[in-house]
A and B are shown apart, each in its own frame.
Chain A
Amino acid sequence: EVQLVESGGGLVQPGGSLRLSCAASGFTFSNYEFNWVRQAPGKGLEWVSYISSSGSTIYYADSLKGRFTISRDNARNSLFLQMNSLRAEDTAVYYCARGALQLGSDSFPTGFDYWGQGTLVTVSS
């Protein structure tokens, strides 16, 4: 059974930092692309960041302006999001979401087929 479990959320002051983790199980983690998606309270979904299966290709939403860093540890089946210089508008539930299967140089996109339950980040003084 595919499982994605996020952790690391919590209350942080403006300007502070937080590191989110996503622990994966039930599949070969190193074969898949991953993403972070967030949802502010009562709002829609916002894509945050992407990382390829090897970690060699990374994308970010323009709005983040270099404050967030995505990474992964394929040996530990884990995905991370380092968030710095946090602002009130970063308050949201953060989801990790599995993307395309990557085998060698070939990618097989199928949307974001599995999501974690989310972890809440609250930025407030």
Chain B
Amino acid sequence: EIVLTQSPGTLSLSPGEGATLSCRASQSVSNIYLAWYQQKPGQAPRLLIYDTSSRATGIPDRFSGSGSGTDFTLTISRLEPEDFAVYYCHQYDSSPYSFGQGTKLEIK
């Protein structure tokens, strides 16, 4: 079973700043099948990034993903007010699929 650990737990930043969110896997995600989701209160998660670095349909290019093996990163280049939310990484490489515990991005 692949355990995903996200850091930091909470990130306090201001609009316009850049954000870097980390996701570490307990074993290698061998087929780049790593995704990132954004979730706002009362809403379902929204897919941002799939296959480690591909942006989902309609996702602005300020969101980017990178990484390989056990270390993955979601980067948001210039934070907009609507970007403040909880972010989850997710591996769909092997069953049981798993999610990280989430990083809350809050306004400083």
Interface residue ranges, A against B (CB under 8 Å)? 35, 37, 44-47, 50, 59-62, 95, 99-100, 109-118
The answer to whether A47 and B96 touch across the interface, beta carbons within 8 angstroms, is yes
Chain A residue at smallest Cβ distance from B98 = A47
Chain A residue at smallest Cβ distance from B31 = A109
B79-107 Cβ-contact flags toward A at 8 Å (1 or 0): 00000000010101001111111100000
How far is the CB of A38 from the nearest CB of chain B, in Å? 11
The answer to whether B97 and A35 touch across the interface, beta carbons within 8 angstroms, is yes
The answer to whether A117 and B90 touch across the interface, beta carbons within 8 angstroms, is no
How far is the CB of A105 from the nearest CB of chain B, in Å? 16
The answer to whether A44 and B102 touch across the interface, beta carbons within 8 angstroms, is yes
Chain B residue at smallest Cβ distance from A115 = B44
B44-83 Cβ-contact flags toward A at 8 Å (1 or 0): 1111011100101100000000000000000000000000
Contacts of B102 in A (CB 8 A): 44-45
19 contacts between A and B (CB under 8 A): A37-B45, A37-B99, A45-B37, A45-B90, A46-B99, A47-B97, A50-B95, A59-B96, A61-B96, A95-B44, A109-B51, A110-B47, A110-B50, A111-B33, A111-B56, A111-B90, A112-B90, A117-B44, A118-B44
The answer to whether A44 and B99 touch across the interface, beta carbons within 8 angstroms, is yes
Question: Which of A44, A60, A112 is close to B35, meaning CB atoms less than 8 Å apart?
Answer: A112
The answer to whether A113 and B47 touch across the interface, beta carbons within 8 angstroms, is yes
